[in-house]
Structure 1
Amino acid sequence: MTAPRRRRAATVEKATRLLDATEEIILREGYAAVSSRSVAARVAINAPLVHYYFPTIDDLFVAVLRRRAQRTVEQMAAALASAEPLRAWWELVSDPRGTALIVEFVAAANHRPALRAEVGKVARELRRMQIEKLATILDEYGLDADEYPPALVAATIQGLAFAVVADKSTGYDTAHEEAAVAMTRLVTRLEEKRARRPGR
């Protein structure tokens, strides 16, 4: 009985190494650099073995995305449940590593239908969480939900973070740092305003 357990543990460990290697390649060189050879080289195995764990490159991409998405959903839930949800949310999506991966996944999804479906699933779940939370707290920030509906606020925070990371990673001079600083300042003011509300 111990031998099968060791094999399963070794299989999980090897698959994890392949996922780690793929993620690093995506971050350093972009999704187009991912191949069975490039991933295998990172973990010092023969390229055909990559397909033992992940039959196709699409399967590998989807596995990397699902692993990252699970973490992201958990982190988003924690941010939205924190004492300062807008600040925590903005700090989370401002993380260049996590958002850079999403930027690459979205680009790859344009050419890979299986990945497109997974990206859409994650995006819908995150947006659902964000909108549901915003619907209950916008008033605490002094924001009229009719004038600033939750969908608008969610798209603004998430979209700006995405644009800042995308432009920075590609080297586009779009004043992205200025936009990020301004959003940080706005979120800080909103959290300070919320903290001063009676009963808090």
Structure 2
Amino acid sequence: MGGGRTKRMPRAERERQMLDAAVEIIARHGYTAASMDEIAELAGVSKPLVYLYLNSKDDLFTACIRREAAALTEAVRAAVRPGLPADRQLWDGVQAFFTYTAEHPDGWTVVHLQARTHGPRFAAEADAMRAEMIAFVTRLIATAALESPHSRDLSTREIEGLAVALVGAAESLADWTNTTPTATAAQASATLMNFAWSGLGNLMSGNRWAPPGVASAARP
């Protein structure tokens, strides 16, 4: 039994082991089917000790989501150097995002897929991470717009909409990359930049797309 292997160690280290095991089991089986017995066994502790540390299965899941979301957000934040041009900042952030999700596929599954499909309490945790990512991209686009004489009149709503679209594309591309054996984080990063920033570059230059039959909104 897992409890027979329990050794004395600092609480933080023991809790990390439990969360590591929970992330792996939840990613493998899904939250509903994840067994507390299996989580305890993988962590090398007794099931009562898991409950003692983390109270309930719901609280354990919440702790997993928060930890994985914080780690991903911190990886992106640490990669970005504020003094660089906006496109370079975004490139560094995008690379960090896809590298992290590729290296931690179980964590990405928990925070993005499992958290969003098991009720509003868990979805809210994932949404908080997404909101932080959107705010980050919004700031980059706003900075680029201010630096361009052609796009200084972009509305706040339009800038935020562009950020939402870019983050949504990144999330979908991360899902695809992690389930496509031939795809890599580097390829995903370049794909997103070619898809998103090339279009943003045109926008910053004053070249706007217009629906058929509508006069072009491009500026001289």
Task: Say yes or no: TM over 0.5.
Answer: yes
Q: 1:138 to 1:57 in 2, by over 3 A?
A: farther
Q: In the TM superposition, what are the counterparts of 1:94-105 in structure 2 within 5 Å?
A: 94-95=98-99, 96-98=102-104, 101-105=107-111
Aligned equivalents of 1:157, 1:79: Cα separation in 2: 18
> 1:17: how far off?
0.6
> 1:74: how far off?
2.5
Q: In the TM superposition, what are the counterparts of 1:87-166 in structure 2 within 5 Å?
A: 87-95=91-99, 96-98=102-104, 101-109=107-115, 110-140=117-147, 144=151, 146=154, 149-166=158-175
> 1:183: how far off?
2.5
> 1:85: how far off?
0.7
> 1:18: how far off?
0.6
Aligned equivalents of 1:142, 1:98: Cα separation in 2: 41
Q: Is the 8 A contact 1:40 1:47 kept in 2?
A: yes
Name the % identity: 23
Which runs of 5 or more structure 2 residues have no equivalent in the other structure?
Answer: 1-7, 181-185, 203-220
Q: Secondary structure of 2:163's match?
A: helix
Q: 1:141 to 1:17 in 2, by over 3 A?
A: farther
Q: 1:37 to 1:117 in 2, by over 3 A?
A: same
Which runs of 5 or more structure 1 residues have no equivalent in the other structure?
Answer: 1-6, 172-176, 194-200
Q: 1:47 to 1:134 in 2, by over 3 A?
A: same
Q: Which amino acid aligns with 1:135?
A: A
Matched, 1:40 2:40: yes
Q: Is the 8 A contact 2:142 2:159 kept in 1?
A: yes
> 1:91: how far off?
0.8
**TM-score for the superposition, normalised by structure 1:** 0.69
Q: Is the 8 A contact 2:75 2:97 kept in 1?
A: no
Aligned length: 181
Q: 1:139 to 1:99 in 2, by over 3 A?
A: farther
For 2:73, the equivalent position in structure 1 comes to 73
> 1:126: how far off?
2.6
Taking only aligned residues, the RMSD between alpha carbons, in angstroms, comes to: 3.7
Q: In the TM superposition, what are the counterparts of 1:147-186 in structure 2 within 5 Å?
A: 149-170=158-179, 181-185=190-194
Quick check: which one's helix share is greater? 1
Q: Which amino acid aligns with 2:62?
A: V
Q: Which amino acid aligns with 2:73?
A: V
Structure with max Cα Rg:
2
Aligned equivalents of 1:143, 1:94: Cα separation in 2: 31
Task: List per-residue Cα deviations over 1:85-128 (Å, max 9, x = no partner).
Answer: 11112112223245763443343332233212222222223322
Q: 1:170 to 1:77 in 2, by over 3 A?
A: closer
